[in-house]
Amino acid sequence: MILDQFSLTGRVALVTGGSRGLGQGLALALAEAGADVALLDRGSAQETVRQIEDLGRRAVTVECDLLGADADDLQGVVQSVVGSLGRLDILVNNAGIIRREPALEFSESSWDDVLDVNLRAVFFLSQAAARVMRDTGGGKIINVASMLSFQGGILVPSYTAAKSAVAGLTRALANEWSALGINVNAIAPGYMATDNTAPLRADEERAAAILGRIPAGRWGTPDDLQGIIVFLASQASAYVHGAIVPVDGGWLTR
C-alpha cells in the first residue's frame, strides 16, 4: 500500500536545532511517522523530548554548539546517536544562524560564524552520517536550504552565501552518494514565522511587502514542512536525489 511507504517505523533520525521553531516541528513530524529521534542543540531540548515521548517514540538529546565544532566533534555526535538509539537512518541539517548587516559594514565574525554553522557543520555532519549509512545499507540526508538559495536577499550576505552553497552541496553529495543508497535532498522554506524572521515581521513596511508577494497570503509555520520532511525521509522518495524543494506559499512563482 502506498501509505506504508511513508512510515518511518523502526527508523532513527538526528535533527539539528530541534529545541524550537522549524527544527522542533520537523522532529515531531518524524516521530509522528514512527521514527525515534535524537536532537542536537547547544541548549536544552527537553520540551521537544517530552512531546516525542508522548507520541510513544524514543528521544535523546546531544548537546553540541555547531559554532566551532570540528569534524571529530561531529563524528562523535553521530557515534553518540548510534550508541544511544542503535542506528542512524535520517539526518536533518536544520540548525542555522543569521546576521543582518549592510554589506559595506559586514564584519568578519558575522561572515565566519554563519558559514561555520550553516555550511561547514552541514558538510561534516553529513559526512559522518553518510559513513554510517554506507555501512548499513543507505539512509536519508535532508538539508534545510532557503529562499536565499535562489535569491540574493538584503543585508544578509553570509546567510545568502551559505544557503546558496547548501543547495549546491546537496546536489554534489547526491551525485556521489546516491549509488550508496543515500538520498540527499533539501527543503527550501519560504518566509516562516520563526525567531529568525522576527525582525522582518516587526518591520511593518517590510512585513507588508513580503506578505503581499506570497500568493498563499500568509507566513508559513513549522506545520507546513511536516509533509515534505516525512516524504523525503521515507521510502516514498526513494528515487528523489539532489532536489531542492521550495515550501514557500508560492513566493518563487511571483
Q: Which of 123, 124, 150, 159 is catalytic?
A: 159
Separation between Cα atoms, residue 49 and residue 39, nearest integer Å: 8
* Grid cell for residue 131: 559513513
For residue 71, which amino acid is it? A
In DSSP notation, 30-52 reads HHHTT-EEEEEESS--HHHHHHH
* Grid cell for residue 137: 545499507
Pinpoint the alpha helices (H) of the chain: 21-32, 46-54, 71-85, 108-115, 121-136, 157-177, 198-202, 204-213, 226-233
159 is catalytic: yes
Name, in order, each residue with C-beta under 8 angstroms of 141's C-beta and a sequence gap of 6 or more. Answer: 90, 91, 93, 126, 129, 130, 133, 173, 177, 182, 183, 184, 185
Sheet strands side by side (includes 12-16): 59-63, 36-41, 12-16, 90-93, 139-144, 182-189, 244-247
Hey, which residues are catalytic here? 159
